[in-house]
C-alpha cells in the first residue's frame, strides 16, 4: 500500500467553518467612559415644563370634533355630521363602535382628553366612561390646509356582551 491515496483523500477535506459568535469582552475601557454625553441641539418644545404647543383656538376646534365623535359613538349624533372632519376609514371605525355600543346598551361620555402636537399632526387621547367601565380612544388629526381632519380612530379591543 502506498501513502498517495491517503494524501489525496486528505487534500479534499477542509475544516468546518466556525459559526460561533466572536468573544466579547465585558470589561470597560477608560477611554469610552471618560466622554460626557452630548448635549441636545434644541430642547424639544414638549419637554419644556408647562408648554402647550396648541393654541386655544385649535384646542377648542379639536375638543369639539372629539366631543362630536364620542356623541356619535354614544348614539346622540348622526355619523353624517362628521363627514367634514373625519376620513372615510375613521368614520367606518366610529360607526362600527357606535353599533357595538348600541348593542351593549351603554351611553358613554368623555372624562378626560389630552392633545400632543407634532408638526402638522395632533394626536388626541380620550378617556371615555359609562360609569362602570372606562376605556381609551386614540385619534389622529392631520392639518389639511386650514382644516383639521381625523384620519385615524382607534378604540382598542372590542367589548363583548356578557352571556348569562
Coil, helix or strand at residue 92: helix
Closest Cα to residue 73, out of 149, 139, 147?
A: 139
- Of the listed ranges 16-20, 27-31, 44-48, 81-85, the one predicted with least confidence: 44-48
Residue-level pLDDT at 88: 93
Report phi then psi at 113, rounded to 5.
Answer: -145, 145
In a domain, 70, yes or no: yes
Q: Which residues of 111-135 are buried (b: 16+ CB within 10 A; e: fewer)?
A: eebebebeeeebebebebeeeeeee
Per-residue confidence (pLDDT) for residue 51, from 0 to 100: 43
Asked whether the predicted pLDDT for residue 64 surpasses 70, the reply is yes
pLDDT digits (tens, 9 = 90+) for 80-112: 999 999 999 999 999 998 888 877 777 778 889
The CATH number of the domain where 96 resides is what? Answer: 3.10.450.50
pLDDT category of residue 17 using cuts at 50, 70 and 90: confident
Averaged pLDDT for residues 125-143: 88
Range of the structural domain that residue 95 is part of: 56-155
- Percentage of the chain lying above the pLDDT 90 cut: 32
Q: Into how many domains does the chain fold?
A: 1
* pLDDT confidence of residue 107: 73
- Judge whether 12 lies within some domain: no
Average pLDDT, the chain: 78
Assigned C-alpha cell, 148: 383639521
Predicted TM-score (pTM) of the model is 0.64
On whether residue 40 sits in a domain, the answer given is no
Amino acid at each position: 500500500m502506498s501513502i498517495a491515496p491517503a494524501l489525496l483523500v486528505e487534500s479534499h477535506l477542509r475544516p468546518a467553518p466556525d459559526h460561533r459568535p466572536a468573544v466579547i469582552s465585558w470589561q470597560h475601557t477608560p477611554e469610552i467612559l471618560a466622554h460626557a454625553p452630548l448635549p441636545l441641539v434644541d430642547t424639544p418644545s414638549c419637554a419644556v415644563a408647562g408648554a402647550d404647543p396648541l393654541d386655544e383656538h385649535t384646542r377648542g376646534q379639536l375638543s369639539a370634533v372629539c366631543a362630536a365623535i364620542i356623541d356619535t359613538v354614544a348614539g346622540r349624533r348622526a355619523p353624517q355630521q362628521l363627514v367634514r372632519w373625519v376620513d372615510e376609514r375613521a368614520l367606518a371605525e366610529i360607526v362600527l363602535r357606535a353599533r357595538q355600543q348600541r348593542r351593549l346598551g351603554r351611553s358613554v361620555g368623555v372624562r378626560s382628553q389630552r392633545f400632543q402636537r407634532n408638526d402638522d399632526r395632533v394626536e388626541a387621547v380620550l378617556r371615555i366612561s359609562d360609569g362602570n367601565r372606562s376605556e381609551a380612544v386614540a385619534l389622529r388629526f392631520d392639518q389639511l390646509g386650514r382644516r383639521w381632519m381625523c384620519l385615524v380612530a382607534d378604540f382598542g379591543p372590542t367589548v363583548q356582551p356578557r352571556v348569562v
